[in-house]
């Protein structure tokens, strides 16, 4: 493995037909700055086969060689991607000059489109808490199943003008918008950037039905979904009949 570039830069080792592995074990921000450099190397030295080793989940976003040792490669290069303070260069440019030996490049990688990880949940209604609220124990199960599905649950309960003081936040909820500006633009925006919605009969529920009815899971109590809409096929379950795994299984189908 080569990781010292004071005397000789990376490109000075290259010859046509070589297989080269670049080991880049740095943080996500550095990787986003490095990927355009890696693509430039591939363009400049098209007669060299380059592989890139990434880790810490980055290999799920960009193509990565599975073995950082590169046993079948001619060279394995480790890049420090040095700090640039005081140099007048960006980190990416300094890597190009100090380690690679190519003209400085400073760009940021274009990322693929990924679905939102946010699942908005709403367990407590303003006007009729006794007939719509989801019991805390069932709500806890729903919250945990969202987490188990790899998503980020956020309670979409705004303390608006008509907030009912009976609706104190359930103790397990650690991501919520109760302290945020309670206006309809914020509510609509939150639902619009969510992957899915799970909730009781409420304004947020109807908002979700407007934005993404096929990604809405209704937690029913005294009011059926057909009391609100009849033309939409909405997933619904009575809170007293909730069975473990219902939410996690539903999320995997979306």
How far apart are alpha carbons 56 and 139 in whole angstroms? 32
Around Cβ 238, how many Cβ atoms within 10 Å?
12
Hey, what domains does the chain have and what are their CATH numbers?
A: 10-100 (no CATH), 118-252 (3.40.50.2000)
Instruction: Detail the DSSP E strand segments found in the chain.
Output: 19-23, 49-53, 75-78, 118-122, 152-155, 196-199, 216-220, 235-238
pLDDT tens digit string along 179-237? 999 999 999 999 999 999 999 999 999 999 999 999 999 999 999 999 889 888 899 99
pLDDT tens digit string along 47-57? 999 999 999 99
Question: Which secondary-structure segment (H or E) carries 122?
Answer: strand 118-122
pLDDT tens digit string along 133-160? 999 999 999 999 999 999 999 999 999 8
pLDDT tens digit string along 68-79? 999 999 999 999
How far apart are alpha carbons 198 and 155 in whole angstroms? 10
Tokens representing 246 are: 């219902």
């Amino acid at each position: 493995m080569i990781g010292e570039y004071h005397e000789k830069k990376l490109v000075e080792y290259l010859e046509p037909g070589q297989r080269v592995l670049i080991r880049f074990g740095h943080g996500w921000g550095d990787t986003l700055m490095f990927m355009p450099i890696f693509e430039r190397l591939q363009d400049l030295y098209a007669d060299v086969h380059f592989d890139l080793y990434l880790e810490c989940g980055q290999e799920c976003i960009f193509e990565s060689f599975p073995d950082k040792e590169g046993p079948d490669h001619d060279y394995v290069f480790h890049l420090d991607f040095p700090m640039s303070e005081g140099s007048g260069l960006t980190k990416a440019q300094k890597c190009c000059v100090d380690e690679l030996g190519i003209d400085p490049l400073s760009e940021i990688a274009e990322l693929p489109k990924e679905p939102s990880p946010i699942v908005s949940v709403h367990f407590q209604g303003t006007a009729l808490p006794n007939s719509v609220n989801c019991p805390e124990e069932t709500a806890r199960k729903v919250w945990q199943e969202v987490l188990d599905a790899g998503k980020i649950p956020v309670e979409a309960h705004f303390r608006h003008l008509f907030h009912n003081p009976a609706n104190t936040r359930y103790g397990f909820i650690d991501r919520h918008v109760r302290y945020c500006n309670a206006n309809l633009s914020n509510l609509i925006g939150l639902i619009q950037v969510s992957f899915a919605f799970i909730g009781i009969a409420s304004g947020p529920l109807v908002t979700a039905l407007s934005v993404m009815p096929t990604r809405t899971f209704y937690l029913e109590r005294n009011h059926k979904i057909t009391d609100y809409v009849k033309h939409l096929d909405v997933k619904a379950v009575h809170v007293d009949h909730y069975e473990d795994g219902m939410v996690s299984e539903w999320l995997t189908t979306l």
